[in-house]
Amino acid sequence: MKSLNLFLGVMAMGLISSTAFAACEPHLQGEYRKLHSTDSVSLCSLVENKVTLVVNTASHCGFTKQFKGLEALHKKYKDKGLVVVGFASDDFNQEDKDEANAAGICFKNFGVTFTMFAPTHVKGSEANTLFKYLNAESGEPKWNFNKYLVGKDGKVIQHFGSMTDPDAKSLSKAIEEALAK
């Protein structure tokens, strides 16, 4: 009872907003390990009240050059409320087996500073929780570098396939519209 009263008191003082709890949809809950690191990140904390661009990546894919454009989007919109997150995956057999090499491709070759997560499954029954949700809403990725635009409410706004370059006007327009909401 004491805990409940304390919680209600804190809520009444406005120290905890009810939107903070509502913002973290079940598919956004969980910790994911960063690429080539022992550090983990709470996805909820990372994307709370932000527009998010989720991308499934692979270091040896023909679309790997899109890292440069994704980094440009990250730099352009991060202060306006966009979070770009990359989920490395070997589901299409194009991720380096050595995580250090994969990290080098992302961070050294392409200058990626947005959050990259360690290899995980993005399709099928082994897909991580976020991708199970994205797949149910938009269909499984057919290849690497699918881009899922997720609103501040945690709901999918739009799915862009591998062929959509990060500098595509359609993607920038969708991001700007989502940020304006």
Q: Give the pLDDT of residue 16.
A: 42
Structural domains in the chain? 23-180 (3.40.30.10)
Q: What are phi and psi of 51, to 5 degrees?
A: -85, 140
Q: Give the pLDDT of residue 7.
A: 44
Q: Which residues of the chain have pLDDT under 70?
A: 1-23
Four-residue CA torsion sign, 151, 69, 32, 96: positive
Annotated active-site residue in 24, 44, 61, 106:
61
Q: What is the pTM of this model?
A: 0.87
Nearest in space to 158 (alpha carbons), one of 167, 172, 147: 147
Q: Is 156 exposed, middle or buried (CB count within 10 Å of its CB: 0-12, 13-18, 19+)? A: middle
**Residue 44 appears among annotated catalytic residues:** no
Q: Give the pLDDT of residue 24.
A: 87
